[in-house]
Structures are given as structure tokens and as C-alpha cells.
Amino acid sequence: MDDCRTWPRQFRWLVFMGYGCVSLLQAAPAHSQAPAMALDSIGRRFERYGQRMPIEKLFVHLDRPAYVSGETMWCKLYAVEGIRHQPLASSTVAYLEVLNAQQSPVLQTKITLHKATGQGSVVLPPELPSGNYTVRAYTSWMKNFGPAYYFHSTVAIHNTRTPPGKAARSATSYEAQFFPEGGYLVRGLPSKIGFKLTDAAGRGVEGQGTVLDQAGRVVAQFNTLRYGLGSFLFTPATAGAAYRAVVTFPDQQTRTYELPLVQAQGYVLRLEDNGAADLRLEVQATTPVAETLYLLGHARHRVAVAAAGQLQAGRATFLVPRQHLVAGVSHFTLFDSRQQPVCERLYFRAPTDTLQLSIRPDKPAYQAREKVTLRLSAAGTTAANLSVAVYQLDSVSAQAGPDITSYLWLNADIKGQIENPAYYLKAANHQAADNLMLTQGWSRFRWTNVLADTASKLLFPPELHGHLVRGRVVDSRTGAPVVGQRVYLTAPSRVPQLYNTLSQLDGIFLAEVPDWYGPKQLIAQTDTRQSASYRVELFSPFSADVATGQVAPFVLSERLAPSLLRRHVQAEVQQQYPQGGPIVYRLPPTDSLPFYGKPKEQYLLDKYTRFKTLEDVMREYVPGVLVRARQDGFHFLIPDDNSRTTMENPLVLLDGMPVFDVNRIMAFDPLKIRRLDVITKRYAIGPVLHDGLVSYTTYSGDLSGFPPDPQALLQAYEGMQGQRDFYAPRYDTPAASKSRLPDFRNLLYWNPQVTAGTAAGTSLSFYTSDQVGRYRVVVQGVGPAGNTGSTSFDVEVGAVQ
């Protein structure tokens, strides 16, 4: 192998930006500049694309894998960057949704992300029907890359208050898909074909089959290995031929499927991993002409391997040291001499530097209403960010939810549903993982976008400092978008808050509202003094697109009856005997000052003799505002403190809402106004400069009956979710332990904010409920360096002796 220090400078740069040198067979000579420059061009364009399109991932730890309608779903969100999965504190908002089987949202909420984590909860409506639901989460930035990249997890929700009805039955239809290695079948070139056999719900099924040529002769045979996946070798003899696969499924049904069309010319890429130090990538092509080929190995927008090789007699070989590849999914892309991608192959390397979590209970078993103490530690780090759940284990909740390691390193970079992803992280299951790469591999980008080396149009910027309200300004007469128009957003209150922005291309506008929490009555409007025909439209911040793929049908098995009855009793008792008081969401402290701070002049009108008209109030008590009556009505003028000139038509607010027609505010009842603030200099709100400001605040802070402008948009708008504490009773006194109030909790403990390290560890404690049985303790989290981990164990709770 050549010493990479002898290679041309451009080639050395491309290799060392990854993880080392590449061993090449039939490589281009070191003194040849053309291949190195071509590699350098591809690598630099790929690097620039990765810088423009950084990857962001979310993982959601749910407190339980299954719920009963009416229960609370608790969650912890982890935000990481896409290369090493280190915590990524860029986005400050995450969107969490619960979708039904038709992929329609039944619950939506916005969760604040702080230092790369967030926590929240949603109450499942009691009327929610039984079924399998999808919990998905994403950020604004992630919406640029499509819903397939969002976090997805399936949970079962049972409505025990309504008759179950007729259980859905699994359909007997099957599907078979075939995926040539590298992308294509080419005449005369041996290929590996990955295949996937599934039922109607998309679950893998066992099966076997044969491949027949046009004459009906058997040319290949195959069997599934695990979860409906497998692979076989096949050499097509005829271009354009329709080879058929005859597949036999578990119920002995036999179906016939067409294999992908065979091309007359092209390339085939074959990856061989026999456990040696190097991966071997064999290229075969139909062209007899010598040609320089380029291999780029990359993982999550980072180049790991770059090599140029010479195609001679239709063959080329690349050797890639295994240690040069990062953990997770790596893409090998083959380019021809014109620098066009012709083949792609995925390879999975299981992560080895995972977070080693250890959790020990103080006793092997417990009684009802007894204190449980857990000692939690994380080897190799001093500050692992963890979340802990303890829930009752029964037939309803037997299926475990996703774990953070398999999701971030595998699910997040692979297309479609993966059954038991943790299975593929075990070294002994390498062949199964390779079958998964053959059948469900994908890219987060299109090479045409990368090679074009042009910036893609991004509709959704990252929310770096708070929630972004997005909308559009249109002309209500023509429907045409309006560019450069001022847009004002406010939610009336006793502490005025106003947000101002300008409409851009296509009339689109963005307004950052970092401190909006809970439900709001949002008022959006333009300056009617410029035009009374403009209309504001608000876009939903939630993604309207859904990922392709089926949700597994909801099947009620008879074996679930005892557990469902128990869960029903638990839910009814908890509803009849609630503990912890009403649901309260704590909102972060907000500034008691209005957005303009301390005004130059402030008038508390109760300190003065109250007049019946606002004109009298302004003329008698507010020398900082001059009132002038002209032919078109009233006008306000403010002497400018800085320029010693007079400013006309300042911005007038009522409870934070702009009022552009002074005549309307002058007709308002002054007895409803508590305070009047005046800013006596030019004041900028966002990109717009105003000639002073006059702000009226009512006693109630809700406009007190003042009608907004007819052109204004009034819309209920949900702000960020506040924080809600998980409540669990304590039985630390004899009186509490002997309380007659029933405790039928099946979720004993939920703590989304646990920090643990190698040293002394962290101690956690909680009390069991009156419900005896087996409980599962689940711990998940991520370390500062991006190493992820999860662990679980079961504890037994018995009846009091």
C-alpha cells in the first residue's frame, strides 16, 4: 500500500479530512494529477453540501410503549447532530404529534428545547379510539428534508371505555421486493440481489423462492434469513428480459413477481466483507475501454474514504480498511470518468463506544407502597443526560419501545420500518445487517444537488432563538402575493408584546416569537394606511407531509383481556380518586415590562380626573402627544427628543395591537384604559422604524370590546408547552402508608432530567403503588461526546404480608 504522504496535495487533503489512507488495487499512479483533481472536486462539492445541509436528529423517549385513552403520555426529547451524535443545541423548538392510522394528527404540541433536550406531555383524550398510533417529532430545520427523516415510533392506545368491536384481522396478501446490489442488473455481470418479503402490514415474513428465466428454467434460488430479508447471487444473461421470482409464503401461498429490468450496459458494484481487515469492493462493467473510476465513502455528510481506480478489462478493485469507517451507516458511491454516480452500496458498522449504564436496586423485590432506591451510573463520562421510566409490565406493554442507540445509529439513516433494530447491532448478526443495507438503504440527498454545487432553496430556517410564525401576505382582490409589506403580530395582554416583520419573496414572512407559551388569541395584520386590501394568512407550523409506509393493523388478542381489564380498573380508579391536584403547566417567568421597556412618559389614568372622551384625556394630561383635528380626522404628533422636530403618525397600540386609524382609538371609552405609555423618539420594531409610539393598556388586557380592524386575522394559536411535573405520592409516614385513598398507578416513576457519571453515581427513589406485579425500569440517554446507551431490568412488587 502506498504511503498517503506521497500522494498529490489535493488527494491527501481529501483523504485526511476523513479517517486515513485507502489501499488501492489498480489505482491511478501517484504522479497523475487528473484523478486526484477529480476526486478533490467531488469531495469539495460534497463537503460544501454537508456544510450547507447539516444533519439534525431527534430521539424521543416515551414513558411507556402502550397507553389507555385518558392517560398522560410523557416524553423526553434528545437533539443531536448527525455525524457523531453529540448533543446539538441549535434548534430551540421541537414539534411532537400523535397520528392515527390514517396519518392524521389527533394531538399536536410544541416543546421547548434547551441545551439539546426537551421534555413534555400530552393527555390522551378519553374518547380516543383504540388503535395503533404514530408518535413523530421534528424540528423546523428537519422539515427541509422530508417526513421520512422525522422521529417515528408506533404506540398502541386502548380505549377500555368503549366496546372493542370487531378486531382487525391481518390480511393474507403479501409483497416481495428485489434490490440489485449497487442499483442495477446488467447483462452478463454477476450481481447480488437483496430481497424483502412482507405481509399487508409491512412486517417481514419467512419464505423461499426460485428465479426463472423466459423459458421457465430455474436460474437461482433463495431463502429468507431474518425478518423477511435475504439475498442471493444471480447473473442475468439477456438484456431487457423479464426474469420472474416465484415466492412461497408461510401459508403456502405462491406468488410471482418481476425482477428489475436487466440493462444492456452498465456497472455492477459488489461489496465483500469476510471479516478481514479490509472491505473489498469489486467493480465490473460491460465496457472494455480503460477508464478511471472514483469511489467516495461517506457517512452522514462526512467523507471517510476517497479513492481513484483504473477499470481494466471491465474490472476494478478497491480495498477499504475497516477501521477507516465510522460507526453507523456508510455510503459507498461509485463515479465514472465523467464524475457521474453510477452505483451506490451501503455498509453498516455497529457502534462500539456506547454509553455503559449501570442501575442497581437496593432490594431484589418490594411490597406495595414501599420505597424503591436505585443507584444509577454511566461509565466513561461525568455528565450523561438520561431519562428514567418505571412502568408495569403486562401483555399490553410487553413490546418494548425504541432504544436511543439503535435509532440514532440505524433507524434514522435507513428507509422504512425496521423490526427489532437492536438485533442488527450485535456483531453475530452481520449478515442480517448486510441484507438490511441491501434492501432498505437510502440517501439523505440527491447527487444531482451535490454535484450542481448550488445552494438549495430552504423553506424552513432553524429556530435558533424561539418559535417562528410563518405566513403570507396576499392581495385580497387578486390573490397575488405582496412583497415588502409590514406585518404585525400580537397576542393582546396587559404586558404589550408586538412582533413586526416584512413579507419577502412570494409574500412569505417569518416572525420570531421567543416568549409565547400556552394558548394565544393571535392578531395578524398589515398597515391599512398603505392598503386596505391586503390579507394575512398564517401557515401551520406542523408538517403537512407524512412518511410513506403502513401502520401495522391493530389486532386485539384474547390474551390481552386480563391486562386490559386491569388497565381499565386502574384508569377508572385514578379518575375517581385523582392524586396531585389539577393539571398545571408551569410557564417560564416573563418580563413584566412591555416590549418597548420603560417608556419616556407613563400615565396611570386613575390618578387623574377621568374624562368621558379620549380627546380630553390626551389634550389635558398628555403633553408628549399633540392632538390635531384635520379634515380626515384626528392625528397624533410627537416632539422628537433627539432631533427637536415633530414626528407625525406614531405607532398606536391597544393592549399591544396596532391601531392604524386614530379616529377609531379616539372613539374608544377612556374609562376602560388603565395606563398610557409614550415613546418620544423614533423606535424600531424588527426591520421597521416608527415615528414614536403611543401605547394604551386596558384593565383586562383583552381589548375590552375594541373591535380589531376588519382586515386583521384573528386566530387561536398554541404557543410553546409549559412544564408539567410528574406527580407520585410518597408513603414516608405511617399515616401516608395507611391512607385509604387507592393508588392504582401503573407508571410508578418518570424522570426526564437525570445526570449520571462514573464517580459515585446518582440515587433515585420512588414508592410502589397498590398494584402488585412486575415492573420494568428503562434508562436511556446520551453522553457529552455523543455515545448513547440504554438499559432496563425488571423488579417484582408483591402484596403486603
Are residues 708 and 525 in contact, defined by beta-carbon separation less than 8 angstroms? yes
Q: Which residues of 287-311 are buried (b: 16+ CB within 10 A; e: fewer)?
A: eeeebbbbbbbbbbbbbbbbbbbbb
- Residue 9, pLDDT score: 30
Say if pTM beats, i.e. exceeds, 0.85. Answer: yes
First to last CA, the chain: 73
Q: How many domains does the chain have?
A: 2
d(CA 323, CA 417): 29
The residue assigned the cell 444473461 is 237
Q: Is residue 357 part of a domain?
A: no
The residue assigned the cell 428537519 is 142
Q: Which helix (H) or strand (E) holds 320?
A: strand 315-321
- Residue 18, pLDDT score: 31
Q: Is residue 590 part of a domain?
A: no
- The strand pairing partners of 302, in sequence order, are 299
Last residue of some domain: 718, 745, 771? 718
Are residues 435 and 35 in contact, defined by beta-carbon separation less than 8 angstroms? no
- The strand pairing partners of 653, in sequence order, are 658, 695
The residue assigned the cell 455515545 is 787
d(CA 404, CA 424): 14
- Residue 555, pLDDT score: 78
pLDDT, tens only, 82-105: 888 999 999 999 999 999 999 999
Using 70 as the pLDDT threshold, list the residues of the chain that sit under it: 1-34, 36, 164-171, 442-445, 453-456, 550, 759-760, 800-801
CA 642 to chain centre: 49
Q: Is residue 692 part of a domain?
A: yes
- CA dihedral of residues 322, 325, 330, 331 (deg, nearest 10): -80
CA 278 to chain centre: 35
- Residue 4, pLDDT score: 34
- Residue 219, pLDDT score: 95
Phi-psi region of 63 (alpha: psi -120 to 50; beta: other; left: phi over 0): alpha
Closest by Cα among 451, 399, 406 to 424? 406
Q: Is residue 776 part of a domain?
A: no
Indicate the DSSP class of residue 144.
Answer: G
Same domain membership, residue 710 and residue 609: yes
Are residues 727 and 578 in contact, defined by beta-carbon separation less than 8 angstroms? no
Last residue of some domain: 515, 538, 561? 538
Are residues 79 and 89 in contact, defined by beta-carbon separation less than 8 angstroms? yes
d(CA 383, CA 369): 32
Same domain membership, residue 712 and residue 606: yes
Which alpha helices (H) appear in 295-413, and where do they start and end? 404-409
Q: Is residue 277 part of a domain?
A: no
Are residues 432 and 418 in contact, defined by beta-carbon separation less than 8 angstroms? no
Same domain membership, residue 624 and residue 517: no
Same domain membership, residue 607 and residue 517: no
d(CA 342, CA 186): 12
- Residue 80, pLDDT score: 96
Same domain membership, residue 635 and residue 528: no
Backbone angles phi, psi at 689, to 5 degrees: -100, 130
d(CA 490, CA 497): 6
- Residue 427, pLDDT score: 82
Q: Is residue 164 part of a domain?
A: no
CB contact set of 199 (below 8 Å; sequence gap of 6+): 170, 171, 172, 173, 174, 175, 205
Q: Which helix (H) or strand (E) holds 10?
A: helix 9-16
What's 708's domain CATH number?
2.170.130
Are residues 128 and 90 in contact, defined by beta-carbon separation less than 8 angstroms? no
Last residue of some domain: 496, 519, 538? 538
Helix (H, G, I), strand (E, B) or coil at 220: strand
Q: Is residue 43 part of a domain?
A: no
Output the nine-digit C-alpha cell for 223. 431463502
User: Cβ of 569: how many Cβ atoms within 10 Å?
Assistant: 14
**In terms of residue numbers, what domain contains 641?**
601-718
Strands 151-158 and 66-68: parallel
Are residues 368 and 769 in contact, defined by beta-carbon separation less than 8 angstroms? yes
CA 617 to chain centre: 53
Same domain membership, residue 529 and residue 634: no
Q: Is residue 561 part of a domain?
A: no
Same domain membership, residue 605 and residue 533: no
Output the nine-digit C-alpha cell for 132. 395503533
Indicate the DSSP class of residue 380.
Answer: T
